[in-house]
Chains A and B, each alone.
Chain A
């Protein structure tokens, strides 16, 4: 398939996943804050950190508040990672490859884009916001569903799934990192009701509370880390995402899983092996933040490898 088309599929998928992730964790945070005694900047600032855009935010908005964080993460067109920007980018990618995706996929994405884009005034009041985020989540889920039902499991689909899985792994790692960092200092809170609420929120940000409960029932930080980082079955766990991305990568290249022929396969394979043989005690001992940080930079290197291997093809002698 065309390199350009593969790249557009990959990014279309990433951007939709990103929009949905952002919608979900803002929504969870709104909900969380309602359970706390008072609202403060400390509850909103970490959200910006999760996206990695805190510098841009500081510059433009200064101190974090519920209103400006939501504005920045959901509606700010200047912020390339806001929900609105992500949907624009996803749709623009889809528009470039309409002939490569099913028309049902295109129409679903286009409808979602139009719904969001036609809002003249972004909803800011509590009560309206929930509806907005629910719409984004539902729209993204419908897009996934339509894709599942209408797209052949061909090479293009594997690029699509790879984009989705890499984005997801990255977001789960970030959510875990930020929340853990935020929760860690309050040692006195451990075991308190607040702590329970906060850790449940981490799980809900990854839609994982129910599935976690089925595994462990009690809210225990270490178990949560294990569940979100190392579980092989939960679809937003980092390990699960890496496995699926790796499977797609090998389906594309035809190289047997466990071997490699290009940098993308090598790096992703190493990452997969690392997670397969990790245990949570070692991770905590080494430091969760260090573990997650290194995971994210390895994931970035996988992305670079994919770009070089599949998207940036040049004939011999042609310079970039």
Chain B
């Protein structure tokens, strides 16, 4: 079986120790995989891909002929997260989301953190994601960021770091749930004897959280999921979540605001809507409040929201907390509001708006990853070591023209996982996106989306850029001998990724 000839090279591998032995907690899975007959793994892999296609678990690619559907490549070998490590991740995420919510609320009210000069005022007020329309808003139950999908990466030091906070409309949770389904359908025997924490409760947790937001006098709140429509890249997820919760999936044209309340157009006339899980960006939500040319939104929605007649999740304006520049200040934000050190650390970040940092970035473009503050999905990004001189020149110009809009981070030696490539098994870089719900309390789904950069040597895991995914197993308990967390990240791993 090819798993024996697998090489971790010099990277931190999520499944194997540097000496090639499986990590504690993974032995059983390793045993099951190596016990398979020759060719069995490939056959199961093909079966899984067929299942995905038949289930129609696809995403849309932009700019490749509108509405092109693709299945998102899925790799059969699960990624395992030990219980002890998950415990720390969960505590870290709770802390982070708690603090970020306080931050957003402060920014749209007293702005204490700006007055105390912990975060530079002009940085916040100049951010494109800062919404003057939200100043003074009081979202139901005081929560702004109801659904968060935080990106974690493991560097060569073996530690997990937060790479990005996604507090607007993070997507991917449907793949977490569906990947588990596909695994159970096509490869049930690997689950045997490994205690993996289930992920199915996400949809009921999500529904409970959304219903919690409804105006208090409403006994049976009506929740809907608002999608930009069938051509959106995450459409599958929108319809999946609506289906799982048993609520309606609506488009902007299905909703209408009448005398200050939001209604659905139904076959029986207009019906009231109490909570909207919106998967449309702030910009397009309401042409009367944000972008006038939006065809996707509902005119008057913000006004109804402001009067507490409908709840929105996430609240408009949360984007300020996942601005890539604000990100650099999150450890300070946590300290400011909670008086605690952050449990999960940031990746070291250079803020181009600060002169010293900018000079360093411009001099080291070929080593750094540069990101635009307001882009996501892997767009508007320069991966220094993989870029041409021409691309670097172009980015240098962009940074000089608008330094506020850029940050840079060292190129991380992201950890790798074994992936089936043809009839071989090879290492590929991964990240992890857990999902956090903030309603009555904070819930962290035990699992998350493991995204894999399928191109050899690539560090970009986004689905739109050649990424795939894996089922993520959070173990219910660790084997007793696995007392020590991984601390043997050897010095020779401290290298930049090359290819």
A binding-site residues for B, Cβ under 8 Å: 1-6, 92, 95-100, 103, 106-107, 110-111, 114, 155, 159, 252, 310-311, 313, 315, 318
**Chain A CB within 10 Å — which of B240, B265, B270 has the most?**
B265
B56 within 8 A of A: yes
State which of B247, B248, B269 has its C-beta within 8 Å of the C-beta of A5.
Answer: B248
Docked Cα-Cα span, A106 to B239, in Å, equals 12
Task: Write the chain A residue with the least CB distance to B236.
Answer: A98
The reply to whether B267 and A252 contact each other, CB–CB distance below 8 Å, is yes
A92 contact set on B, CB distance < 8 A: 230
The reply to whether B243 and A1 contact each other, CB–CB distance below 8 Å, is no
B54 within 8 A of A: yes
Docked Cα-Cα span, A159 to B254, in Å, equals 18
Given contacts A2-B266, A100-B248, A159-B267, 19 further A-B pairs with CB under 8 A are: A1-B266, A2-B265, A3-B267, A4-B251, A4-B253, A96-B230, A97-B249, A98-B56, A98-B240, A99-B225, A99-B243, A100-B249, A106-B56, A107-B54, A114-B53, A114-B54, A313-B266, A313-B270, A315-B256
**Residues of chain B in range 243-277 having any CB-CB distance to chain A below 8 Å:** 243, 247-251, 253-254, 256, 258, 264-270
B242 within 8 A of A: yes
Docked Cα-Cα span, A315 to B242, in Å, equals 26
The reply to whether A99 and B267 contact each other, CB–CB distance below 8 Å, is no
How far, in Å, is A101 (CB) from chain B's closest CB? Answer: 9
> What does DSSP make chain A's interface, helix, strand, loop or mixed?
helix
B55 within 8 A of A: yes
The reply to whether A315 and B254 contact each other, CB–CB distance below 8 Å, is no
Q: A98-B240, A99-B242 are in contact. Are A3 and B248 (CB under 8 A)?
A: no
Docked Cα-Cα span, A107 to B242, in Å, equals 17
Docked Cα-Cα span, A244 to B16, in Å, equals 64
**Chain B CB within 10 Å — which of A97, A99, A315 has the most?**
A99
8 interchain residue pairs of minimum CB distance: A99-B243, A99-B242, A98-B239, A310-B267, A110-B56, A313-B265, A99-B249, A3-B265
How far, in Å, is A254 (CB) from chain B's closest CB? Answer: 9
**Residues of chain B in range 37-95 having any CB-CB distance to chain A below 8 Å:** 53-56
1/0 contact trace for B328-364 toward A, CB 8 Å? 0000000000000000000000000000000000000
The reply to whether B270 and A1 contact each other, CB–CB distance below 8 Å, is no
**Can you list 8 A-B contacts (CB < 8 A)?**
A2-B248, A4-B253, A95-B239, A98-B56, A99-B242, A99-B247, A106-B56, A313-B267
The reply to whether B55 and A313 contact each other, CB–CB distance below 8 Å, is no
A107 contact set on B, CB distance < 8 A: 54-56
> What does DSSP make chain B's interface, helix, strand, loop or mixed?
mixed
Task: Write the chain A residue with the least CB distance to B253.
Answer: A4
Task: Write the chain A residue with the least CB distance to B250.
Answer: A2
A100 contact set on B, CB distance < 8 A: 248-249
The reply to whether B56 and A155 contact each other, CB–CB distance below 8 Å, is no
**Chain B CB within 10 Å — which of A2, A6, A107 has the most?**
A2
Docked Cα-Cα span, A100 to B247, in Å, equals 9
B247 contact set on A, CB distance < 8 A: 99
Task: Write the chain A residue with the least CB distance to B224.
Answer: A2
The reply to whether A99 and B248 contact each other, CB–CB distance below 8 Å, is yes
The reply to whether A95 and B267 contact each other, CB–CB distance below 8 Å, is no
A98 contact set on B, CB distance < 8 A: 56, 239-240, 243
A106 contact set on B, CB distance < 8 A: 56
Docked Cα-Cα span, A6 to B250, in Å, equals 12
The reply to whether A315 and B270 contact each other, CB–CB distance below 8 Å, is yes
Size of B's binding interface in residues, CB under 8 A: 26
The reply to whether B267 and A6 contact each other, CB–CB distance below 8 Å, is yes
The reply to whether A103 and B265 contact each other, CB–CB distance below 8 Å, is no
Q: A2-B254, A2-B264, A4-B253 are in contact. Are A95 and B269 (CB under 8 A)?
A: no
How far, in Å, is B255 (CB) from chain A's closest CB? Answer: 10
How far, in Å, is B144 (CB) from chain A's closest CB? Answer: 27
State which of B56, B251, B253 has its C-beta within 8 Å of the C-beta of A95.
Answer: B56
B239 contact set on A, CB distance < 8 A: 95, 97-99
Q: A98-B243, A310-B267 are in contact. Are A3 and B254 (CB under 8 A)?
A: yes
Task: Write the chain B residue with the least CB distance to A94.
Answer: B56
B265 contact set on A, CB distance < 8 A: 2-4, 313
Docked Cα-Cα span, A252 to B56, in Å, equals 30
State which of A96, A103, A313 has its C-beta within 8 Å of the C-beta of B269.
Answer: A313
How far, in Å, is A264 (CB) from chain B's closest CB? Answer: 11
Docked Cα-Cα span, A98 to B239, in Å, equals 6
The reply to whether A110 and B54 contact each other, CB–CB distance below 8 Å, is yes
B230 contact set on A, CB distance < 8 A: 92, 95-96
The reply to whether B250 and A111 contact each other, CB–CB distance below 8 Å, is no
B254 contact set on A, CB distance < 8 A: 2-4
Task: Write the chain B residue with the least CB distance to A113.
Answer: B56
How far, in Å, is B244 (CB) from chain A's closest CB? Answer: 8
A315 contact set on B, CB distance < 8 A: 256, 258, 270
Docked Cα-Cα span, A232 to B230, in Å, equals 40
How far, in Å, is A162 (CB) from chain B's closest CB? Answer: 12
Task: Write the chain B residue with the least CB distance to A101.
Answer: B243
How far, in Å, is B103 (CB) from chain A's closest CB? Answer: 34
Docked Cα-Cα span, A315 to B266, in Å, equals 11
How far, in Å, is A157 (CB) from chain B's closest CB? Answer: 13
A159 contact set on B, CB distance < 8 A: 267
A155 contact set on B, CB distance < 8 A: 267
Task: Write the chain A residue with the least CB distance to B69.
Answer: A95
Task: Write the chain B residue with the least CB distance to A317.
Answer: B258
Docked Cα-Cα span, A96 to B251, in Å, equals 10
A99 contact set on B, CB distance < 8 A: 225, 239-240, 242-243, 247-249
Task: Write the chain A residue with the least CB distance to B245.
Answer: A99
How far, in Å, is B276 (CB) from chain A's closest CB? Answer: 14
The reply to whether B243 and A103 contact each other, CB–CB distance below 8 Å, is yes
How far, in Å, is B37 (CB) from chain A's closest CB? Answer: 28
Task: Write the chain A residue with the least CB distance to B247.
Answer: A99
Docked Cα-Cα span, A99 to B247, in Å, equals 8
Task: Write the chain B residue with the least CB distance to A102.
Answer: B243
**Chain B CB within 10 Å — which of A1, A4, A96, A252 has the most?**
A4
B251 contact set on A, CB distance < 8 A: 4
B256 contact set on A, CB distance < 8 A: 315, 318
A97 contact set on B, CB distance < 8 A: 239, 249
How far, in Å, is B235 (CB) from chain A's closest CB? Answer: 8
Docked Cα-Cα span, A136 to B340, in Å, equals 64
B56 contact set on A, CB distance < 8 A: 95, 98, 106-107, 110
Docked Cα-Cα span, A5 to B266, in Å, equals 9
Docked Cα-Cα span, A315 to B263, in Å, equals 10
How far, in Å, is A319 (CB) from chain B's closest CB? Answer: 13
A114 contact set on B, CB distance < 8 A: 53-54
A5 contact set on B, CB distance < 8 A: 248
